[in-house]
Copies of this chain bind each other. A is one copy, B any other.
Amino acid sequence: MDFLSEIQSLDRGQTKKEIFRLIERLYPICRSITGNGLRETLSILSEVVPLAIHEVRSGEQANDWTVPPEWNIKDAWIKNSKGEKIVRFSDTNLHVLNYSEPVNKKVSLAELKKHLFTLPDKPGWVPYRTSYHNRNWGFCMSHKQFEQLEDETYQVFINSSLGPGSLTYGEFFVKGETGDEVLISTHICHPSLCNDNLSGIAVAAFAAAFLQKLKPKYSFRFLFVPATIGPITWLSRNEDKLKNIKYGLVLALLGDTGKFHYKKSRQADAEINFVVENVLRNKIADYKILNFSPYGYDERQYCSPGYNLPVGRLTRTPNGEYPEYHTSADNLDFVKGDKLVESLELLLHIFNTMENNASCLNLKPKGEPQLGKRGLFRSISGQGDVQEYQMALLWVLNLSDGEHSLLDISNEAAIDFSIIKQAAIALEKAKLLKQLD
């Protein structure tokens, strides 16, 4: 049950390979907010960590939303007048406007253009576009290709179905010693895009698998959900569980080479913010803290005013802030194995800090206790410096007054949480400290 040792004994090389292989398997699947792509994805994830798969029927109400018709797609293409398929779904599923209704007809170039989406400023890349809540059909292509389209008649074919079915999401739950829960949520609805969000999915799955080996203090709940409608559906069906959520994180975009960005929970003084900032400060050279804003990923839903849960968001480069975002360039080359492993390790250190934080009481609070006679301080004095571990002992003693947690002490002392924890353990053994409940 020693979290820290488990993290330190992680085989990084092996983990890197396994995470990357998982992403490679998931990459080709055409996901959306409903449909078989989700089922296939969750089935593969279940090989990493056993998931409970939930199906919620189309038409069911989830707060202000209705679970939409299920969307599935088999094939799609555009043929020119010579009968050549100039765009093929089988090349990349990004070519189809996600949630397109079925279509099979001939259209003029002018008509076709109303249904084409391109990126004029990134002419080589295919954009990712969706139309979930307005019935429509469309294709996405490179702007380069778009500019070469000739004024002829095209046949457009989308073999999709939109009808009664269900919304699918996966859930993994580890029961902890206490009733308090940690909620981890990641969106699974994007098709062939690696950083957004196979990176978040893979890191979450491996973190869940890691927890399986341990008996944590807190319960951990992992949600693998389609964006927006997924968490809203889950929230509306699990309101009785929300009071137990002590910490929460939305995970996304964890495989690019950019620096970490932590977006604070709407509750600015939520402890999750202090935990993540502490770990970033001590473990990562360069990172950025963002204030909450109501745009981004599913933190929008968890942090809506009717729920206002203590949920922050961890990404590397945020959504929309890298050129490859929501384009065909967010591919297997764009995400890096070592960045994925670093993200996983960071997440595990965040878990470690949650698990090991505590408030303690100095049992000899009048002056410093004599550490030397307990073997906790060097015997020759007079040097100008003092080691970080010995400073940690002094900080823990000085601030263990019932009003500061070990996390607070780590922040105040600017010393890594795990060194502070180690000092607290040593002081407890020496009967100078006791942990408060």
Q: Which of the segments A37-45, A69-77, A151-159, A302-310 contacts the partner chain?
A: A302-310
CB neighbours (8 Å) of A89 from chain B are: none
**Could you say which of B295, B305, B320 contacts A399, with CB atoms under 8 Å apart?**
B305
How many copies, total?
3
Q: Which residues of B contact A127 (CB under 8 A)?
A: 382
- Minimum CB–CB distance for A330 against chain B, Å: 11
For the complex, count residues of A whose C-beta is within 8 A of B.
65
Interface residues of chain A, those whose CB is within 8 Å of chain B, are 62-65, 97-98, 117, 127-134, 136, 228, 231-232, 235-236, 266, 293-295, 300-301, 303-308, 319-321, 325-326, 362, 364-370, 372-373, 379-386, 391, 394-395, 397-401, 413
Interface of A is mostly: loop
- Cross-chain contact A294 with B370 (CB below 8 angstroms): no
Complex Cα–Cα for A127 and B381 (A): 11
Q: A326, B367: Cβ atoms under 8 Å?
A: no
A382-B128, A384-B320, A395-B294 known; A368-B301 Cβ under 8 A: yes
The CA of A313 and the CA of B63, in the complex, are separated in Å by 48
Residue pair A235, B366 in contact (C-beta under 8 Å): yes
CA distance A323 to B173 in the complex (A): 57
Contact (Cβ within 8 A) A372 B133: yes
Tell me which of B117, B319, B383, B398 contacts A305 (CB under 8 A): B398
> Are B232 and A398 touching (Cβ within 8 A)?
no
Q: In whole Å, how far is A347's beta carbon from the nearest beta carbon of chain B? A: 25
- Asked whether, in the complex, the Cβ of A398 is within 8 Å of the Cβ of B365, the reply is no
**A63-B366, A294-B398, A386-B295 are contacts. A379–B304 as well, Cβ < 8 Å?**
no
- State whether A134 touches B379 (Cβ < 8 A): yes
For residue A369, which residues in chain B have a CB less than 8 angstroms away from its CB?
64
Give the most central of A235, A304, A307, A397: most B CB within 10 Å: A304
Q: Which residue of B lies closest to A227 (CB)?
A: B381
| Chain B residues near A98 (CB-CB < 8 A) | 382
Would B130 and A305 count as touching, CB distance under 8 A?
Answer: no
Contacts A117-B380, A326-B382, A380-B117: A301 and B131 contacting too (C-beta < 8 A)? no
Judging by beta carbons under 8 Å apart, are A320 and B65 in contact? Answer: no
Cβ-defined contact, A304 with B381, below 8 A: no
Q: Quote the shortest CB–CB distance from A97 to chain B (angstroms).
A: 8
Taken together as a complex, chains A and B put the C-alpha atoms of A367 and B133 apart, in Å, by 17
Known: A129-B380, A293-B391, A294-B395. 20 other contacts (CB 8 A): A62-B367, A63-B367, A127-B382, A130-B381, A133-B370, A134-B379, A134-B380, A232-B367, A293-B395, A293-B413, A294-B394, A294-B397, A294-B399, A300-B394, A300-B398, A301-B368, A304-B397, A305-B397, A307-B365, A320-B384
